[in-house]
Structure 1
Amino acid sequence: MESNTLFQYSVVSALMDGVASNGLPLQTLSQHGNHGLGTFRRMAGEMIIIDGQIYSMKADGSVTLISSTEQTETVTPYAMVTRFSPTITKKVKLGGKDELKDFLTNLIPRTSNNYLAFRVDGVFKSVTVRAAGPQKEKGEGLVAVCARQTVFELEPEEGGGIGGTIIGFRSPAFLQGVSVAGDHLHFITDDRKRGGHMLGFETEGEVEVQVAGMWRVELELPKDDEEFENAKLVGDNEGIKAVEG
C-alpha cells in the first residue's frame, strides 16, 4: 500500500452496536501499514501500532507486544492503519489535546474534510489514559463497555517526565460513525510498558510532531459476519463523543 493511504477495517458504529466477536487477523492488518490504532476481539483493550509493532493495552494497565505468531490468530473488529510518511515535522510545547488540535489545524491547513495521520514523540509532564473491555456478553455496545473503563494517571519516570509517543488520526466530521470524527489518540511509553487511549496530557518541554495528510482511503467491511449483518448502524454522535473522551 502507498504511503499515507488510510486502511480501515469496519466502522465505529459497528462497535457502538457491539459487533466485536470476529474480525480481521492482525497479520493481514499489518500488511497495510506501520502506524495505527484500534481494538481487539470483544473490545478487550486498546491497540496501538508503532513502528510496525502491534501492542495490546488492557484494562488492568498491562501492555503486551503481539508477536508475529500471535498475529495469525488475533483479530481486530475495528482498526485504522497507514504506512506513515510524515510530510511536516515541527517541535512545539503543548498544554493538552486542544492545543495539539489547534497546532495541527494551523500546521497543515485546508484539510478540514480530509484525514490526517500524526505522531508526537517526547517527554510529557502528565499523561491520562484509559483502557476498557472486554465485553461482558456478546453484543454489548461500546458505551456499556467504556462505562467500566479504567483511567490511569501515568507516573513520571525517575528523573522526571514521561517519555513516550502519541499515535493518532484525525477524521473529518462528515464521516462520524464511519470513523471517530476529530482527533483519536493512543499513547505508549518509551519502554512499551504503559499506555492506553489518551484522555489528556501536558508536555514537559518541546516535543516532535510529525503529520501527513491522507487523501486515499480503503475501507474493508466485515464479510459473512452475522453480527455486522444484523447491526442497525444508526449514527450515535453523542455516544461516540462520550466514549472517546
Structure 2
Amino acid sequence: MCAQIVLAEDDAKQAELVRRYLEREHHSVVVVVDGRAAIEEVRRRRPELLVLDVMLPKVDGLDVCRILRRESDVPVLMLTARSTEDDLLLGLDLGADDYMTKPFSPRELMARVRTLLRRTRLADTGTLLTIGTLTVDPVRHEVTRDGEVVDCTPGEFRLLAAMAPHPDRVFTRTQLLEHLHGYDRYITDRTIDAHVLNLRKKLERDPRKPVHLLTVYGIGYKLASGTRAPDAP
C-alpha cells in the first residue's frame, strides 16, 4: 500500500523517526517544517495523506487543517502534545481524520496510517448509497439531501458512510469510534456525539426532532431508512 505522504513536523528528531517508519512501509515521504510549507506541498503534490503536527511555526496545524478543508479532502492525521478532550474535538471539528497525542508509539502510528489509507482507497471504489432522502457518494465524498449538497467534514462523512450501507441498524458509540478513528484512550463518546449534533444541524429540517439520524437510548445511533417521525429525539 505505497502512498505519497506529506509529514509536517518541526522537531527534527521526531520528523526523522516518523519518516523512517513511513519509508520502511514503502511510502514516499516529503517532510516540511512549518504550516505554510505544509499547505503549499499539499496543493502541489496532492498527497494521499497529511501527517500534521499541531504546534508548527508560521501557520499552526489547526489553521493548516482549516485552510485545506476548504479546498481538499486529503486525509489528515494530527499529532500533538495537546491531550485534552476539547483539543481533540476541535481538531476533529476542523476536519482532521484522526488524532494522536505525543508521546506516541510509532507502531500505533503506522497502524493508524494503514487504516486511513485503506479506508480512503475503499471509499474511492464505493457505490452510491441512498437512504430515504439522503444520498452518500463514496467516490465523490459527497452527501446530498433532497438533491442538495450537504457540506460535511471528513469525520462526519465517514460516520454517514459507515452507517449508510446498513439502514436502521443500531451502532454503538464504540463501534462508530473504531470505524472512524481506531481505538485511542484519548477519544471519548463525546466525539461521536459532537459529530451527530453537527450532522443533525446540517441534515435535519428540525434538529430537535430528527428523522434521519436517530438516537437509540442506552445503545447509540442509527440512520433511519425512511422519513417517518422518530421514536427518539
Same fold, TM-score > 0.5, yes or no = no
**Normalised-by-shorter TM-score class:** under 0.3
The two structures have a TM-score, normalised by structure 2, of: 0.27
Give me the TM-score of the superposition, normalised by structure 1: 0.26
Relative contact order: is structure 1 or structure 2 higher (C-alpha 8 Å, sep ≥ 6)? 1
Which structure dedicates a bigger proportion of its chain to helix? 2
Higher strand share: 1
